[in-house]
Amino acid sequence: MALIEAALSAAVAAARPVLSAAARRAAPLSCCASYSAAASSSSFSCGSGDIEDSPPLPIPTPRGQSLLARFRGRRALAVTDITATEWCEKQMEFVLEHGRPERTQAMKAGSERHAQLEQEVIERVDVTIRSAEEMWAVKFMNFIVGANQLMLEGITRELPVFGVIEGSWMIGVIDELQMPPDGVSLHPILVDTKTRYKPTPPSEAQKRNGRLQLMCYKYLWDNLIGEKFPAENFFSYFDLDPNYLLSDDIKQFIRLLGLDAKTLEDVLKYFKVTCHTLPRSQEQLLLRYELQADHSLLEEYLFSYDASWFKDQIQEVLSFWQGARDAKFVSEEERWKCSFCKFANNCPINASSSRCC
DNA sequence: ATTGCTGAATGG
C-alpha cells in the first residue's frame, strides 16, 4: 500500500500540471449496449439482418413510468439534475420531454471561464472511451489524480465524484477543492465559482440552488473518503463487467500516472486505496460570484452544511423524479424565473394568456 | 458540434 502511495505521489509530483482525461467518443458504443433508452430510428446494425414476421419487439415503454426510469434508467442522476429540479420542477420536466433549449451567451461565457480556471491547474489529455467500463475507469483515475493533487499542491478543480444519496446513484463534478492555508485545518473546503453576466448580487433563489449543489458535492466526497463506496451495487446497477479489459489507450493513460491496471476492477482497487488517505471536507462551503466582464469578485458567500435541510431537499426532488407526485410550479415569489424560461409559453402556470373571453 | 444521443456543468 505504501508502494502504491509512493508511486502515486511520484507521478503527480512529476507531472506538474496534473493530467486529466477529456472523454471523447470516437464511435458509438457497441451495438447492443444498453444505451439507447429510446431506441429511435438510428442505425442499429445488430447482428440479425432481416426483420422476420415476429421479431422480438423492443419492450414498449409503459406509460406512467417514473421520470427516473424513463430518462435515467441504469444511469446516475447528475447533481445538476438535482439543482435544475430545485429551480423549477416543471422546467425540468419540459427539458426531459422536449430536450434542452439552446444555450445562452451567459452559459457559454460561464463554461469558458470554468475551462480557463481548470486550465490553471490541470492539463487535459484526450483518451478514446469505447465502453461504459472505460468511462468509469477514467472517472476513477481522474478522481485519484485530483485527490492527490489536492493533498500535494493544496488545490484541485473539476473533480468527479459519485455515490448514493437517499437511495439514488448520483454523479457530479466538484468545481474546486482547496486545503486551508498553513496548518489551520486538515479539512479541504469546497468552492464553486459562479460567473454572472450582470454585476448584480445573486438572488436568494440562486444562492439556495448553489447551496444545494455544494452540499451534494460535500455529501458525495465525504462518503467516498468514508469508504462507503458500494462496489458490488456499483457493478450491478450500471451493468458493468469488473474484468473488462481496458484498451491500450486507456492503459497507457493510466501508466502516465505511474499505475498499472488491466481491468476496471484494478482501477477500483487504486481508487479505494486513495480514498482511505483523504480527509473529510469542511462543514463550511463557499460560493464565489464573479462578473463575466472582468472576473471581478461580486460576492463571497460562506455557509454551513445542513444535513437535515439537505436530506429534506433531496427527498423532495426525488419524489418528483420517482413519480410520487406531479411536477410543482415555482412559488408566487419566484414567478420571475418564468421570464428566463424557454418553455414559459407552453407552461400551464401561464394558462391565462392563450385563452381569453 | 457546445449539446445533441450517450459526458456534467454552464446561468437565471
State whether the beta carbon of A331 lies below 7 angstroms from any atom of strand B. no
C-alpha distances out from residue A70 to A93, A169, A275, A318, A321, Å = 12, 15, 33, 14, 10
What is the mean predicted confidence (pLDDT) over A2-22? Answer: 40
Four-residue CA torsion sign, A274, A242, A231, A323: positive
A112 domain residue, yes or no:
yes
Res A341: pLDDT: 94
- Between residue 69 and residue 108 of chain A, the positions with Cβ below 7 Å from nucleic chain B are 76, 78-81, 83-84, 87-88, 91, 99-104, 106-108
Res A235: pLDDT: 95
Q: Which nucleotide is nearest to A337 (CA to C1')?
A: B12
H/E stretch holding A233 reads helix A231-237
Res A13: pLDDT: 38
Which CATH number does the domain housing residue A307 bear?
3.90.320
Which amino acid would we find at residue A161?
V
pLDDT in tens, A209-230: 999 999 999 999 999 998 778 9
A242 domain residue, yes or no:
no
The C-alpha atoms of residue A162 and residue A169 are separated, in whole angstroms, by: 7
Question: By residue range, what is the domain housing residue A222?
Answer: 68-237+271-343
A25 domain residue, yes or no:
no
A348 domain residue, yes or no:
no
A14 domain residue, yes or no:
no
- Counts for chain A of helices (H) and strands (E), in that order: 11, 8
A77 domain residue, yes or no:
yes
Chain B bases closer than 7 A to any CB of the protein: 2-12
State whether the beta carbon of A344 lies below 7 angstroms from any atom of strand B. no
State whether the beta carbon of A309 lies below 7 angstroms from any atom of strand B. no
CB hemisphere CA count around A22 (13 angstroms)? 10
Those residues whose C-beta lies under 8 Å from the C-beta of residue A89, and which sit 6 or more positions away, are: A320, A327, A328, A329
Distance A343 CA to B12 C1' (A): 14
The C-alpha atoms of residue A311 and residue A307 are separated, in whole angstroms, by: 6
pLDDT category at A287 given cuts 50, 70, 90 is very high
pLDDT category at A347 given cuts 50, 70, 90 is very high
State whether the beta carbon of A172 lies below 7 angstroms from any atom of strand B. yes
pLDDT in tens, A143-156: 999 999 999 999 99
Q: How many domains does chain A have?
A: 1
A356 domain residue, yes or no:
no
Res A123: pLDDT: 85
SS3 content of chain A, % helix, strand, coil (to 5): 45, 20, 40
What is the mean predicted confidence (pLDDT) over A303-316? Answer: 97
A15 domain residue, yes or no:
no
Res A352: pLDDT: 66
Report whether pLDDT(A11) > 90: no
